[in-house]
Structure 1
């Protein structure tokens, strides 16, 4: 009997709907020891579509944004399609960017768990694409984006010449890239000033406790103060190798996945939740910026108000 387990059904959505893999294309699955069941589920589905499917498994990286070994990067660039369910993110790596530049289309699934994989891929990605397009139209020409929240956030982003991106989960053209699960629009701003307060999800905690808040001060595009010792330690660890670049304010993202009705503690899924904003520290080289750093730390705000050139906009809602 054909396996119709939730894991397999999610893999079918990823391979067929999201990636649109065809029989004459090569497909590479990049995974690690801790994400092997998801990697193998994707590989099994890919093998049913194309004879040119392969899987690479390696030990988990220590940090999000850490470059994979050269053979992994080379294989990614040589594939028509790649998917990377890994413990630590490959999204913001030169390897991922170079693979897309070479014409590969790909999806990263950083920190994915089997529960998040099954939940996040049980979605109408055509609807997510529509909500993402509508949000992108509101922000793409903005000179200034201001975000406030009841928790005390008041921060202003200047995108400058940087391009906004839409992460829809529909990856059908050469060079395209998405996270899976998907659903956000985002930019790596040229300059940022203000304060933001994370009250949703952030590593190393996952979903924050009620009343727990992580406060960040930002000046001229760099984080100058972090209220939490454990988060600060992660950034300091990155700064040991790249200095101030570890404190770069890397990203403003707006969630557009209306299928995510509540936060679950996974940054990968929670940052896509409609009605939320996420702000990241560290690497932005893979999303239109110019900073290489061995970390990319997203923090999620659950009650943001977003102003585009002074006018409040409506955010998608679950």
Structure 2
């Protein structure tokens, strides 16, 4: 299946003759990374592959000090400045190894600040982030491996023509909208202002129009339409059945209820049935980093409203890359929004995905309204 998956990546990022393409992932994916490199070369590109083992990454976390992690990696920075395009395959075969290193991961987030700027600040670099499925990941997300493979790999092998049509339908309803109101039976009830903001289809398809608009990044599996809302507006409650700690990407948080007002999360009003302490501590740590780097608590600012559309992905497990593509779900992210139509730079971008049963009402500038989704079904 590697050639077909690699072809999806090459099509989505549109490699051209002479372009330098940085390809990175875990050593357990070496064969797949090399297949991507070969297909880059077939397009006339210059592939560069970087891969290390899960064990090496764990030993590095054990060995390096907090101060070491705060330093920006010079070689990586130089390589990313030189590259034209960036491909990342989920790098950890067992992400749970990061659980015990919260302070060091916070420091690494600080050190990686210039790297984030290279990739995501304007004009940025075209990028693709693809998920993966391993026994270690399946254990961490508490699902059988075949289920994870169906969500990740099956979620990539879909009818892209149908996905593009669904994206176009959603965008046609959101076009010209002033406000979006989302509700469900689990207590989700919020509104966001998207007036004047760019609509982004995540359909794994490159186009000159996308690139010209600044839409240069995407995920595999694909399957959503997303927009960066107005950062100073919006209020309400989001119920998220399961998410994962955005600092370590290794601790599941269940039954989260997020409250935000004037476009800002209110951490002391954010709760969780399981993992509440981790939820609040992670928000606090990213606020600390953002205050140092940007002079404002940008991690708390609303960053994204997304509508899930992937026909294969049908259950949430905490793996945000797939959860946010669930058909019938909506997700709201906080933190970074620069790069796809927003104005916020942050070291955090944390998505909170609702249950797949949302009702979404769109209000236009003239006061008229239209139903985009009813109980998780597109209208």
TM-score (norm 1): 0.80
SS of residue matched to 1:285: coil
Match of 2:219 in 1: 179
Post-superposition offset of 1:283: 1.6
Tell me the alpha carbon deviations over residues 42-71 of structure 1, each in whole angstroms, 9 at most, x when there is no partner: 223323443522224578799xxx998465
SS of residue matched to 1:199: strand
Post-superposition offset of 1:121: 2.0
Residue 307 to residue 69, structure 1, CA distance change in 2 (3 Å)? farther
Query: Given the alignment, which residue of 370, 373, 376 partners 1:311?
Result: 370
SS of residue matched to 1:147: strand
1:227-306 equivalences in 2 (<5 Å) = 227=271, 228-243=276-291, 244-302=297-355, 303-306=357-360
Residue 290 to residue 171, structure 1, CA distance change in 2 (3 Å)? same
Give the paired residue count: 300
Given that 1:28 and 1:81 are in contact with CA atoms closer than 8 Å, whether structure 2 keeps it comes out as yes
Partners of 1:20 and 1:285 in 2: how far apart?
A: 22
Match of 2:21 in 1: 28
SS of residue matched to 1:101: coil
Tell me the alpha carbon deviations over residues 116-159 of structure 1, each in whole angstroms, 9 at most, x when there is no partner: 65233212222211111111111131111011111101101012
Post-superposition offset of 1:11: 1.7
Given that 2:263 and 2:302 are in contact with CA atoms closer than 8 Å, whether structure 1 keeps it comes out as yes
Post-superposition offset of 1:255: 0.9
Post-superposition offset of 1:169: 0.7
Post-superposition offset of 1:299: 1.2
Residue 123 to residue 25, structure 1, CA distance change in 2 (3 Å)? farther
Post-superposition offset of 1:205: 6.9
Residue 233 to residue 306, structure 1, CA distance change in 2 (3 Å)? same
Partners of 2:36 and 2:72 in 1: how far apart?
A: 20
Residue 128 to residue 27, structure 1, CA distance change in 2 (3 Å)? farther
Tell me the alpha carbon deviations over residues 142-185 of structure 1, each in whole angstroms, 9 at most, x when there is no partner: 11101111110110101233222111111243563222221111
Q: Which segments of 5 or more consecutive residues in structure 2 lack a partner in the other structure?
A: 62-69, 93-108, 135-148, 292-296, 364-368
Given that 1:67 and 1:94 are in contact with CA atoms closer than 8 Å, whether structure 2 keeps it comes out as no
Q: Which segments of 5 or more consecutive residues in structure 1 lack a partner in the other structure?
A: 1-5
Partners of 2:252 and 2:344 in 1: how far apart?
A: 28
Partners of 2:24 and 2:152 in 1: how far apart?
A: 14
Partners of 1:51 and 1:156 in 2: how far apart?
A: 44
Query: Given the alignment, which residue of 120, 131, 138 partners 2:155?
Result: 120
Post-superposition offset of 1:231: 1.5
Tell me the alpha carbon deviations over residues 282-314 of structure 1, each in whole angstroms, 9 at most, x when there is no partner: 222233222222111111112211110143223
SS of residue matched to 2:185: coil
Match of 1:213 in 2: 255
Residue 265 to residue 196, structure 1, CA distance change in 2 (3 Å)? closer
Partners of 2:279 and 2:250 in 1: how far apart?
A: 9
When Rg is computed on C-alpha atoms for both structures, the one with the higher figure is 2
